Amino acid sequence: MAGQTYSFRTLVVPGAAGNYAIDIDNNSRISLGYSLTDPSSVNHERAVLLQHGDFTPIHFPGATATDAGSVNDTETVFGQCTDQNSNQHSYRL
């Protein structure tokens, strides 16, 4: 087996205590989840879309937590959010 080489890039959401990549589309847009505090705390989830080096926050209005799921080639983001009563909902952006 021939040796394969890879190129790694660290993705760091500005101001986040920790973050993780969720999905990437064919146009290199990446959905990420992150937290501002300890990831084990309640309602820490936040989401961003990374495109061309720019982070665009995703926040469902009135939600205490927003998580980005998948992103497709038409920039549609699917995810879930948690409302003030701790109920979870799906969304499409």
Q: Could you read off the pLDDT of 36-93 as tens digits, one per residue?
A: 876 555 556 899 999 999 999 999 999 989 999 999 999 899 999 999 999 999 999 9
* Burial class for 89, CB neighbours closer than 10 Å (0-12, 13-18, 19+): exposed
Distance CA 67, CA 60 (A): 9
* Burial class for 22, CB neighbours closer than 10 Å (0-12, 13-18, 19+): middle
The reported pLDDT for the residue numbered 31 is 95
Helix ranges, the chain (H): none
Compute CA 62 distance to the chain's CA centroid, rounded to the nearest angstrom: 18
The reported pLDDT for the residue numbered 41 is 55
